[in-house]
Amino acid sequence: MDIDHNNERSLDRLANTLKSGHMVLFITGAGLSVASGISTYRSETTSIWSNFIYEWGTRKKFYEDPLVWYNKFWLRTHEKIEYFQAKPNEGHHAIARLSHRCKIKVVTQNIDRLHVKTSLLESNLVEVHGRLGLYKCVNTGDLHKKGRKKKNPINTVCPYAIDKNICTIDITKYEPKQGTNFEDGSLEIQEVPRCPGCNDPALPQALLFDEKYTSHDFYQWHRVLNWIQSFSFQPVRSAAVVFIGTSFSVGVTQEAVLVCAAQGKDMYNFNVRVEDEVSELKDMYHIIGKADVMIPMLDKKLVNNNNRPRMYYHPTSDECMDVQMEYMDKVEPYVD
Ligand SMILES: [Zn+2]
């Protein structure tokens, strides 16, 4: 059977599940943002490059020398102007449209903020690996005292290290080295950004390779687990997990695959190729192609014959309340 025919059958099956009104969890990875000009470092890489990313993308490496960490690693690989200027592509927008008509939740591994720039409500989104532009404090007090360069005389955990976000840091203002700037990607800073609460060094709000999902409330790991485990309460075949552009190499995808496989729930894999890890899974349907093309195709299947959007799901009053609360949260200042 050819790819197009297989894709079509899998998209129809997924569209029917979405129409049933049961929850479908979307887990999105770097492949979704490729069409927005953001490259996936896991797939294309030479091993030298990926070893560099895995070695330097750790708190351990940060502690060795925070300034070198920013200049040699973070500003070269992540905090770059193209990330901030990137726009959501048709794949992101199609997911947002689906979220208004079907019961879907989105967990993204991407820190590029592209879902946030669509009409997807944040109450339906978890950025489980963090968000570019936000920062957190390294001061976890007694929790990880060993190895921390202690500047703070009070040895208590700083709220910015565990449940608050620092959103007042503008990295371009940290004494840029002469002749370097953010605009052309050459920025080097001469001073490490610091926490407004305790003055310890600040880290980007991103989950590093040696950190746990539970290390900061921003990653909302308990909410993700609730979403994954809520499948237990739904009849077989009525719920599904949709993976988009992910390489299945991180904890959140592994957790979801484990739960779905154990319970015989449908899984869908939107990807440009089938990864070895998931090629043999019985309940995994592969939809091969670019995310910014294939997800709009799914969206179109949920539009009725008159080409008008249709609601397949009506939020409960509790969920309406959540949305209202979200708007109320937004008008409040984010920092102390
Ligand atoms: Zn702090």
> Residue 213 Cα, ligand 1 centroid: separation in angstroms?
19
Handedness of CA 263, 264, 270, 275 (dihedral sign): positive
Helix (H, G, I), strand (E, B) or coil at 239: coil
Please say whether the beta carbons of 222 and 148 come within 8 A: no
Residue 238 and residue 123 share a domain: yes
Residue 31 and residue 49 share a domain: no
Residue 123 and residue 78 share a domain: no
Share of the chain above pLDDT 70, in %: 84
* Residue 102 located in a structural domain: yes
Residue where a domain stops, chosen among 155, 177, 206: 206
* Residue 122 located in a structural domain: yes
> Residue 143 Cα, ligand 1 centroid: separation in angstroms?
14
pLDDT score for 40: 64
* Residue 212 located in a structural domain: no
Q: Per the confidence metrics, is the pTM higher than 0.85?
A: yes
Residue 123 and residue 96 share a domain: yes
Reported residue count of the chain is 336
Residue 188 and residue 72 share a domain: yes
Residue 261 and residue 315 share a domain: yes
> Residue 95 Cα, ligand 1 centroid: separation in angstroms?
36
Does the annotation count 222 as an active-site position? Answer: no
* Residue 214 located in a structural domain: no
Q: In angstroms, rounded to a whole number, what is the distance separating the alpha carbons of residues 41 and 53?
A: 9
Residue 246 and residue 174 share a domain: no
Phi, psi dihedrals of residue 19, rounded to the nearest 5°:
-65, -25
Query: Which of 129, 216, 286, 314 is flagged as catalytic?
Result: 129
Residue 94 and residue 81 share a domain: no
Domain of 120 in residue numbering reads as 1-38+88-129+219-278+288-336
Number of folded domains in the chain?
2
Residue 202 and residue 111 share a domain: no
* Residue 283 located in a structural domain: no
Neighbours of 64 (CB within 10 A): 12
Q: In angstroms, rounded to a whole number, what is the distance separating the alpha carbons of residues 226 and 59?
A: 28
Give the DSSP letter of residue 334. S
Mind listing the pLDDT tens digit for each residue in 51-110?
888 899 999 999 999 999 999 999 998 988 889 999 999 999 999 999 998 999 999 999
* Residue 213 located in a structural domain: no
CA 82 to chain centre: 17
Residue where a domain stops, chosen among 185, 206, 227: 206
Mean pLDDT score of the chain: 86
CATH number of residue 117's parent domain? 3.40.50.1220
Residue 189 and residue 141 share a domain: yes
Residue 258 and residue 146 share a domain: no
Q: 139 vs 40, which has greater pLDDT?
A: 139
> Residue 47 Cα, ligand 1 centroid: separation in angstroms?
35
Residue 173 and residue 74 share a domain: yes
Alpha helices in the chain (DSSP H): 3-19, 47-56, 59-64, 66-68, 75-77, 81-85, 90-101, 159-162, 221-229, 251-263, 276-279, 291-301, 317-331
Going by pLDDT thresholds of 50, 70 and 90, the confidence category of residue 333 is very low
pLDDT at 332 > cutoff 50: no
> Residue 83 Cα, ligand 1 centroid: separation in angstroms?
26
Residue where a domain stops, chosen among 184, 206, 228: 206
Q: In angstroms, rounded to a whole number, what is the distance separating the alpha carbons of residues 266 and 313?
A: 19
Q: 299 vs 277, which has greater pLDDT?
A: 299
Mind listing the pLDDT tens digit for each residue in 13-52?
999 999 988 889 999 999 999 999 987 665 555 677 778 8
Phi, psi dihedrals of residue 170, rounded to the nearest 5°:
-115, 105
Please say whether the beta carbons of 168 and 193 come within 8 A: no
